């Protein structure tokens, strides 16, 4: 708050720094379109050959209505469609 007015930060990570993609090869980006004007973007980590892990609050269900794209790398972005998501039972 600034004089009773909410100030929105333009940065999402405070105190962070950019790193080359080869220093974080496990990092991925989840991108989910909620409407024609709104998307959700969250980080994820690669935990296996066919698995990525992200926070459950980043994923809107059902996936049939809100499909997710997963992006890897920044100079050679590849995409894939999510076939299944697993939410932690007590989160849902």
**pLDDT tens per residue across span 63-91:** 788 888 888 875 445 556 667 777 767 65
Name the band, by pLDDT with cuts 50, 70 and 90, for residue 34.
Answer: confident
Cα separation, 66 vs 19, in Å, equals: 30
Q: Are 74 and 66 in contact (CB under 8 A)?
A: no
State the pLDDT at residue 53: 92
Does the reported pTM lie above 0.75? no
Give, as one character, the DSSP assignment of residue 90: T
Lowest mean pLDDT among 3-12, 18-27, 58-67, 69-78: 3-12
Contacts of 44 (CB under 8 A, 6+ apart): 27, 28, 29, 30, 52, 53, 54, 58, 70
CA distance 68 to 56: 13
Question: Domains, the chain, ranges and CATH?
Answer: 22-81 (2.40.10)
What pLDDT is stored for residue 66 in this prediction?
A: 84
């Amino acid at each position: 708050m600034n004089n009773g007015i909410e100030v929105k930060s333009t940065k999402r990570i405070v105190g962070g720094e950019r790193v080359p993609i080869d220093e974080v090869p496990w990092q991925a980006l989840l991108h989910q379109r909620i409407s024609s004007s709104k998307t959700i973007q969250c980080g994820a980590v690669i935990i296996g050959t066919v698995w990525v892990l992200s926070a459950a609050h980043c994923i809107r269900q059902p996936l049939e209505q809100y499909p997710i794209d997963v992006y890897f790398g920044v100079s050679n972005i590849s995409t894939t469609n999510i076939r299944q998501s697993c939410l932690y039972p007590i989160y849902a």
